Amino acid sequence: MGTIQRGSDGIYRWVYELNLYTNPTIFLLVCKIFLSIGLGLFVFIGLLEVLEDGFQFERLLDCGVMFAGFSAGILVLSGVGYLVYAFIMGGKYCVLFEMDERGVKHTQLPHQMKKAQVIGILAAMTGAATGNFTTMGAGVLAASHNSMYSEFSKVKRMEILRNRNVIKLNEPMNYNQVYVDDDNFDFVRTFIQARVGQGEAKMK
C-alpha cells in the first residue's frame, strides 16, 4: 500500500509533505479565517450603525468600502506572512497521520524532519524492531508541534479535494485536513467515507 503502513495495533500511519509553494490549501485556510473575522466586524459595526442612527444606505455603503479595503489589506499581509512562514519551514509542511476505525489524527512534525526520515522510523516501529528505534519513534512524536483528532462519528461534513490531495473533515468547532498522496488517496477516502456519520460528502 505504498507509504501507508499498518501497525500491529491496527493503526494505519503515513507521512505527507505538503509543498507550501505549490499547494494553496493552508494559504486559503488562513485567508478564510481572517476574512471571516473581518466580515464579523463589518456586520457588528453595521448593526451598531443601524441601532444608533437607523438604516442609512450611505453609511452602510461607507462601511462596505471600508471592509473591502480591509479585506484587500488582509490578503496582502496574509500573502507576505505566508511566504515568510513557507520560507522558515523550508517550503514543506510535514505531517504524520494515524488512522484507525474510530478516527484520524493529524500531527505536525518539527520542520527539520524530512519525509524519508519519518518513513524509516515508522517502518521500524511497525515491524518487530525494539530498543533504539522504538525510543526514536516516541521521541519524534514527543517533539511534534501540534495535533488534531477527528472522530469519524462526529464528522458533519466531508470535503474531498483530490486535485490538492486533501480530505477535509469538519466537525462543530473542529476542522481537520487529511493529506494523502495519489497512490493512496482512494484507499483513505473510501476508508473514511465508510466510517463517517451521516454528514454531507462533497467531492471536487
DSSP state string for 116-170:
HHHHHHHHHHHTT--THHHHHHHHHHHT---EEEEEGGG--EEEEEGGGTEEEEE
Cα 8 from Cα 111, distance rounded (Å): 28
Cell matching residue 85: 512562514
Q: What is the pLDDT along the chain (204 residues), one digit of tens a residue?
A: 447 888 888 889 898 988 989 888 888 888 887 778 777 877 777 777 777 766 667 766 777 777 788 778 878 888 888 888 888 777 888 888 999 999 999 988 765 555 555 555 555 555 544 444 444 444 444 444 578 899 999 998 899 999 999 999 988 878 899 999 999 999 999 999 999 865 555 555
Regarding whether 101 and 35 lie in a shared domain, the answer is: no
Residues 84 and 98 in one domain: no
Statement: the pTM of the whole predicted model exceeds 0.85? no
Q: What pLDDT, on a 0 to 100 scale, did the predictor assign at position 66?
A: 77
C-alpha closest to that of 31 among 66, 68, 75: 75
Both 178 and 144 in one domain: the answer is yes
pLDDT of amino acid 185: 95
Parent domain of 199 = 5-19+92-203
71 and 128 part of one domain = no
CATH code of residue 146: 2.30.29
Domain check: are 14 and 102 in the same one? yes
Q: Do residues 108 and 71 both lie within one domain? A: no
CB neighbourhood size of 15 (10 A): 25
Euclidean distance between CA atoms 135 and 31, whole angstroms: 39
* Whether 196 and 175 share a structural domain: yes
Q: Are residues 192 and 106 in the same domain?
A: yes
Q: Are residues 101 and 198 in the same domain?
A: yes
Q: Are residues 62 and 151 in the same domain?
A: no
Q: Are residues 136 and 190 in the same domain?
A: yes
pLDDT of the residue at 193? 92
What is the count of structural domains for the chain? 2
